[in-house]
Amino acid sequence: MKCPGQDSRYWKPGAIFDVKCPKCGREVEFFKDDTTRKCHHCGHRFVNPNMDFGCAAYCQFAEQCLGTLPPELVARQENLLKDRVALEMKRYFKNDFKRIGHATRVARYAERIGKSEAGNLAVILAAAYLHDIGIHEAERKHNSPAAEFQEKEGPAIARDILIKLGAQEKLFDAVCDIIGHHHHPRPDDGIDFKVVYDSDRIANMEERLKEKPMDPDDLAKVIEKSFLTESGRKYAVEVLLTANKLLQGVRIECGDYRQCCDFIDEGTFIYIDPPYRPLTKTASFTAYSENAFGDLEQKALRDFIDVIHKKGAKVLISNSDPKNVDESEHFFDELYCKYNIERITAKRMINCNGKSRGNVSELLISN
């Protein structure tokens, strides 16, 4: 028996429709389950505009399914690739949150500078997320995180990650070339390398300034001679001079969240963004850490919040909303029954099921 949803005898009005060919403008008839159709007038083949091709944005078999991918899908592939590279980077570094944080900042800066410099964002962002991917191997093989060892070990690891994600050879060759000398500019480097170099430079300088702020005039001189792009230089002024000013007299601590209890009093505001509780068995974005943040850890976090609440601190926590997939799930409603729970709408674009991408509910919990 044929599924009624696929049997044209049961189709509703609108299941067969006409679309103008993007090349010649003539009408082309589509059935709702056609992935592509060929224009009989000019011969141009194009995809069904009413079908969700979200899976083609990351599936290595997309071209086998759809034929030659149209430019709009190629653009979506490269755009979504950066999110998947970011996730693979986190999985690779596991609980090395210092490296994860650094790579994420470099990518954030690279996206802004890359847009200003009209670079290839697919190459730039993949290289930004993976530029330090060789640091653990450098430490293991050479007992040093020195730049030369990172550059030696990084490209092979990055290549394996990008091949796994189905990236095109031209893209991963460009990314690996940048990673292989990202601390050492060459005279013939293109704009993509320069964007990643400048972004990494900003992130490194920002980290040093947190430890030891500089005189603003001295910092301005360093910025003037340290960057390869004009956009990078301008952004460095915006980020570093502002940060340097704000960090005067500030101390930054890195450690287990419970360590901050000693610094908290009634004048403290705390925002906590823990690893989100997975909505399904396959949706865990905490998997990059070897120390899983499961329900016991969520309950331990609630106990910590009880302690700082009694100290008079103002607290805000974000987390996933189980009711996205199961209305009867009351885990957080019961866990934080003494607190204020607000459900807000957030946009999520990574999912193999097109219907599951888009707006989802998330939780903001406060006292």
* Stretch (H or E) spanning 269: strand 269-272
Please name the residue ranges forming H helices in the chain: 62-66, 71-93, 97-116, 121-130, 135-142, 147-164, 169-179, 191-211, 216-226, 230-236, 242-246, 295-310, 331-335
pLDDT of residue 257: 87
Domain with CATH 3.40.50.150 in the chain: 257-366
Is the alpha carbon torsion for 328, 334, 336, 339 positive or negative? positive
pLDDT in tens, 165-218: 888 888 889 999 999 999 999 999 999 999 999 999 999 998 888 788 888 888
pTM above 0.75, yes or no: no
Tell me the sheet residues that pair with 17: 30
Instruction: Classify domain 257-366 at the CATH topology level.
Output: Rossmann fold (3.40.50)
pLDDT in tens, 219-247: 889 999 999 999 999 999 988 887 777 77
Domain with CATH 1.10.3210.10 in the chain: 73-246
The token pair at 194 is 């320069």
On whether the 73-246 domain is CATH 1.10.3210.10, my answer is yes
Statement: residue 110 has pLDDT above 50: yes
pLDDT of residue 286: 45
pLDDT in tens, 274-305: 888 887 655 554 444 555 678 899 999 999 99
The token pair at 248 is 């005067």
pLDDT of residue 312: 92
C-alpha dihedral over 74, 83, 201, 273, to 10 degrees?
A: 160
pLDDT above 70 coverage of the chain, percent: 82
Q: Give backbone dihedrals phi and psi of 269, rounded to 5 degrees, phi first.
A: -110, 130
The token pair at 318 is 């974000």
pLDDT in tens, 131-177: 999 999 999 999 999 999 999 999 999 999 999 888 888 888 999 99
pLDDT of residue 288: 46
